[in-house]
Amino acid sequence: LSLFFLLLLCTFCTSQINTLLAISIFHCKVCVFTQLSPEERRLLDSIAWPETPRLPVPISLSTASDPAHSTFTILPVRAGGQWHVGDELEALIQICDFQGRPKQFGGDFLVARLHDPELGAGVAGRVVDHLNGSYTAVFPLLWEGQVTLVHSSEAITVLRRLTTEQPGRVYFKSLFQSGSVSETMVCNVCLPPTQPLCNYTDLHTGEPWFCYKPKNLRCDTRINHYKGGFMVGKTDLYDIHITDVRFIFLSGQPEVKSSTVKPEPVGYYYQGAWRALGGTTVHQFNNPSAISQCLTDKVVHLHGDSTIRQWFEYLNSVLPDLKEFNLHSRRQNGPFMSVDMARNILVKFSCHAPPLRFSSIPTNELHYIANELDRLVGGSNTVVVIGIWSHFSTFPIVLYMRRLQSIRRAVLRLLNRAPGTLVVIRTANLKALTLSETLTNSDWYSLQRDKVLRATFKGLNVRLVDAWEMSLAHHLPHSLHPQTPIIKNMIDIVLSYTCPQKNG
Ligand SMILES: *[C@@H]1O[C@H](CO)[C@@H](O)[C@H](O)[C@H]1NC(C)=O
Ligand SMILES: *[C@@H]1O[C@H](CO)[C@@H](O)[C@H](O)[C@H]1NC(C)=O
């Protein structure tokens, strides 16, 4: 309760500052972020979401978007066409409200995919918002399709408001301890200066982090970091069944259209295996010896959140000769380390620094990825994998932008001193959305972060694993932690980057 109250104070202190950017918490006196750079502003503009409706309170559900009343038309087209791989299918989707009236404005969050269970095939579509209640979904191949209304535009109004008004709805704590004295204090990226603070801002990267100072202990007695909990004040989300995900199915007799909107998927599934479009050939690493051979003489550094930890777990589970060293770490946090002595393979995982919603993690295991990269010599036997997105969802996006920029600078330094280093970036993925998940971790928040991630690393000599498309195109349900068949496909991509095969 106290934190919510403090955040209200915080909002109050910002109300005099005219900002369009929903970064109010950062303008509290305690953690003034400098002005947005032109680059940051450009990035923010590039991810701008359409206007969503101002909502009356209480919200009237009858005017919100309703998949059950919404319709689609597969656009009729060129006569006599035969279907070819790479052809485009276009569907016009009209979103209607709960009373069946066509919506007049855009801003709904839709995702689209085509899939064919028999062929084990699937591909993500691209959705274009016409800002008048209609949307076009464009797909490159012909299978049965599915469009999911993830959130109505009304829900997005509420999600936006949540970020502005309750950025501290996931809150953090630290235990301070010295001898027999211990105190637990609230911590965050920014705290209203209502009591003395301990400043844990990283001197190297400049990443801010604060705790309230314990009454009887010094700031250097902080021994751990953990998620305090999740707290949401009054929100209209409970009124507006936004997590009620339903589907609009596309089927029927579609015809080919040469569309003006290029779907540009990065790949698709066929017989359960991911095939990349454009450039990389993804090879199947179906047995341990192929994987071990690829990783021979390599050091693989995995940095990030639990979706990267999954990759560590996968490699350990499929490689019998890769033995995990017992570092006595908690399963959620790491660090972890596995070795195959015979083949000189080392695989390491470490989680990223706060904001991090793990259970208790020792403070000396909190490492900013940029600092970790600066400690690497790098080279052609080094593979660096970075995956950081999910724990930033409740914060104003500027925090994430700055975290990525510090990582980007470290990647540039690494590639400059050791150009042979392979750097792989894992993007965000879609997840199952319960109500509480939506409030803290909606796919809509992930989508914004995903766009920032891609823009930040664009043009660098790094490779992407497009977890967004891979989770969308797959028939398995969306999950924060994608299931093993999807992980297997992701690892195949990493290994294909690591060991490109000639004539492949
Ligand atoms: C926290 O420490 C950083 C780095 O020393 C400093 O730049 C910043 O001004 C400090 N913030 C506060 C509120 O003391
Ligand atoms: C909405 O805009 C699209 C694209 O401009 C157009 O094709 C469609 O007819 C419009 N729908 C309505 C209801 O005006």
- CA 20 – ligand 2 centroid, Å: 29
Residue 434: is its pLDDT beyond 50? yes
Section 23-42 average pLDDT: 61
- 137 and 176 in a single domain? The answer is no
For ligand 2, whether the C-beta of 130 sits within 6 Å is: yes
The residue-averaged pLDDT of 117-146 equals: 84
Same domain, 335 and 462: yes
Q: Which pTM does this prediction carry?
A: 0.88
- Angstrom CA distances, 437 to 391, 430, 483, stand at 12, 12, 18
- Which range, of 72-76, 247-251, 263-267, averages the lowest pLDDT? 247-251
Residue nearest to atom 1 of ligand 2 (CA): 132
What is the CA(384)–ligand 1 centre distance, in A? 31
4 pLDDT exceeds 50?
Answer: no
- Atom of ligand 2 lying closest to residue 134 CA: 1
DSSP three-state, residue 63: helix
**Ligand 2: which of 70, 73, 101, 132 to mutate, judged by most atoms within 8 Å of the beta carbon?**
132
| More confident position, 17 or 454 | 454
3-class state of residue 157 by DSSP: helix
Closest-CA residue, ligand 2 atom 2, reads: 130
Q: Whose CA is nearest to atom 14 of ligand 1?
A: 199
User: Are 139 and 211 within one domain?
Assistant: no
Atom of ligand 1 nearest to the CA of 203: 4
**Averaged pLDDT, 10-14:** 31
pLDDT in tens, 176-203: 999 999 999 999 998 888 899 999 999 9
pLDDT of residue 167: 75
Residue from 201, 203, 205 whose mutation best tests the ligand 1 pocket (most atoms within 8 A of CB): 201
Is 165 part of a structural domain of the chain?
no
Same domain, 430 and 491: yes
Phi, psi (5° rounding) for residue 290? -65, -40
State yes or no: pLDDT of 139 exceeds 90: no
Q: Which ligand does the CA of 105 lie closest to?
A: 2
Q: What is the pLDDT of residue 7?
A: 30
Residue 234 confidence (pLDDT): 56
Tell me the Cα Rg of the chain: 24
Which residue's CA is the nearest one to ligand 1's atom 2? 201
Of 248, 281, 307, which one is at a domain's C-terminal end?
248
**Residue 26, domain member (yes or no):** yes
Give the rounded percent of residues in the chain with a pLDDT score beyond 90.
56
In terms of domains, do 243 and 360 share one?
A: no
Ligand 1 lined by 199 (C-beta under 6 Å): yes
Instruction: Select from 248, 282, 316 the last residue of a domain.
Output: 248
Helix ranges restricted to H, 350-396: 369-374
Q: Is 134 in the pocket of ligand 2 (CB under 6 A)?
A: yes
- pLDDT band for 343, please (50, 70, 90 cuts): very high
Give me the CATH number covering residue 279. Answer: 3.40.50.1110
Into how many domains does the chain fold? 3
- Per-residue tokens: 2: 């106290």
Judge if the beta carbon of residue 152 lies within 6 A of ligand 2: no
User: Would you say residue 380 lies in a domain?
Assistant: yes
**Does residue 254 form part of some domain?**
no
User: Measured from the CB, is residue 30 less than 6 Å from ligand 1?
Assistant: yes
Q: List strand residue ranges (DSSP E) for 158-270, in order.
A: 170-178, 181-188, 197-199, 210-212, 224-230, 246-250, 267-270
Orientation of helix 443-457 relative to helix 38-46, angle to 10°: 130
For ligand 2, the distance from its centroid to the CA atom of residue 502, given in whole angstroms, is 48
Q: Which ligand 2 atom minimizes the distance to the CA of 104?
A: 13
Mean pLDDT of the chain: 84
pLDDT recorded at residue 10: 31
Closest approach atom of ligand 2 to CA 130: 2
Residues 216 and 334 in one domain: no
Q: Which ligand is nearest to the CA of 28?
A: 1
Question: Domain of 218?
Answer: 170-230
The yes-or-no verdict on residue 340 having pLDDT over 70 is yes
136 touches 97 (CB < 8 A)? no
Q: Which atom, in ligand 1's list, is nearest to the CA of 206?
A: 4
Residue whose CA is closest, atom 9 of ligand 2?
134
CB of 71 closer than 6 angstroms to any ligand 1 atom: no
Q: Are residues 154 and 175 in the same domain?
A: no
Pair of tokens at residue 29: 């006196």
Q: Are 144 and 209 contained in the same domain?
A: no
Best of 73, 131, 134, 138 for a ligand 2 pocket test (most atoms within 8 Å of beta carbon): 134
Q: Which two tokens stand for residue 282?
A: 């993804």
125 and 190: one domain? no
Nearest to 367 by CA among 481, 207, 219, 228: 207
Q: Is residue 486 part of a domain?
A: yes
Residues 130 and 177 in one domain: no
Ligand showing the shortest atom-to-Cα distance for residue 34: 1
End position of a domain, from candidates 204, 230, 256: 230
Q: Which atom of ligand 2 is nearest to the CA of 102?
A: 13
In a domain, 243, yes or no: yes
192 shares its domain with 297: no
Q: Is residue 242 very low, low, confident or very high in pLDDT (cuts 50, 70, 90)?
A: very low
Query: Is residue 384 one of the residues assigned to a domain?
Result: yes
Task: For ligand 1, say whether the CB of 201 is within 6 Å of any of its atoms.
Answer: yes
Whether 337 maps to a domain, the answer reads: yes
Residues 206, 328, single domain; the answer is no
Ligand 2: atom nearest CA of 92 is: 7
What pLDDT does residue 26 have? Answer: 41
Higher pLDDT, 162 or 323: 323
